[in-house]
Every structure is written in structure tokens, then in C-alpha cells.
Amino acid sequence: MAVTELATQLEVLLESEAKGHGFELVAVEQAGGHKTPVIRVFLDREGGIDLESLTRANAWVSSAIDDSDALRGPYTLEVSSPGIDRPLRKLADFERFAGETANVKVRSAAGGRSAWTGRLLGVRDDSVVIEVDGAEVLIPHSEIVKARLKGVIDFGKGGSR
């Protein structure tokens, strides 16, 4: 996930817009070159997202970006759901998805490890609590570089998560 200065600016710009339209802004990423960047906006909402709501969201996201000074020149816009491997960024995300399995990468190796996979237990103070191999691990939120839910697809029951 590319978190650039532009992506951060666009996150600030789109956060209130998303709330106003009944969405949660999960993340904004920038990819591609600087001449024609690809801007990826990940939205979610209670009950999930469908293609129709993403199509409508594309219009207000595009309009908000075009009306701002954040981005001049051509760009490619991708508006989508966060998918089953949803990024986890805010402490509230780790609390909300307690009980789910997540992959967490940290800035500096804690206990000799720079990546953890385990069941989220929630948040304690400013740390994420994750159960790995039967033991609780506290990871300072400030040390997390990247975290995503580990998507599970169950073809036998016709569902996913």
C-alpha cells in the first residue's frame, strides 16, 4: 500500500465526504507514476458494498478530487471495496475486527519478528493485541507498517470472510 503525501491529503479531503454519503473511508493509495497517478479509494459501509453504490461513490469522489487543489493534471481513479483482505489502519479497525485473523507487519522486529499472523483480540491502550500460537502479543500501533485481515473463502458453504 502506497501511503504518500498525496494519498494522505486525499484521505483528509475525502473522509468527511465519505461520512456524508454514508460510507467509511478505509484507505487511499497512490500508485503509478507522478505524471498520471492511479488513485485507489477503498470504501466500506455497514452491511457491505455493492457495484451500484461504488458507481455512485465514483462520481462524488471524482468531483471532490477535481474541485480540490490536491491533484492537478490527469489521473486514474479506482473506487472499490476493501475486499476480504481489508486493510486495518486505525485502532478502531483492530477493535471492530476482533476475533478475525490478520497479518500484521511491524517497523522494527519485535521479539525477533517483523510479521505476525494471528487472531485479533482487540486494543489495549495504544497497542493491538493479537493471539499468535496461543500467546498474546501486544504490538504498538505506531510500529505497524501494514495490517490486513486474512481473507477466508469457504467454497463448501458458498460464503466468504
Residue 86 lies in a domain: no
> Could you tell me the CA-to-CA distances from 117 to 47, 56, 100, 133 in Å, in that order?
26, 35, 11, 9
Nine-digit cell at 2? 502506497
Residues 96 and 149 in one domain: yes
C-alpha gyration radius of the chain: 17
The reply to whether 160 falls in a domain is no
User: CA angle at residue 101 from 148 to 39, to 5 degrees?
Assistant: 15
* CATH code: domain of residue 123: 2.30.30.180
CA distances from 90 to 64, 127, 134, 155 (A): 23, 11, 25, 31
For residue range 132-160, list pLDDT tens digits in order. Answer: 999 999 999 999 999 999 977 777 765 55
pTM for the whole thing?
0.77
Residue 4 scores a pLDDT above 90: no
C-alpha cell at 24: 467509511
pLDDT, tens digit, 9 for 90 and up, residues 59-111: 999 999 999 988 888 999 999 999 889 999 999 999 999 999 999 999 876 56
Q: Are residues 107 and 55 in the same domain?
A: no
For residue 128, give the nearest of 150, 97, 161 by alpha carbon: 97
Model pLDDT, residue 107:
87
- What's the DSSP call for residue 74? -
Q: Is residue 72 part of a domain?
A: yes
pLDDT score for 47: 83
pLDDT of residue 159: 54
State which residues form the domain around 69. Answer: 5-80
In a shared domain, residues 12 and 67: yes
For the chain, give the number of residues. 161
The CATH number of whichever domain residue 13 belongs to comes to 3.30.300.70
pLDDT, position 112? 75
Closest CA to 86 of 26, 46, 6: 26
User: Domains in the chain: how many in total?
Assistant: 2
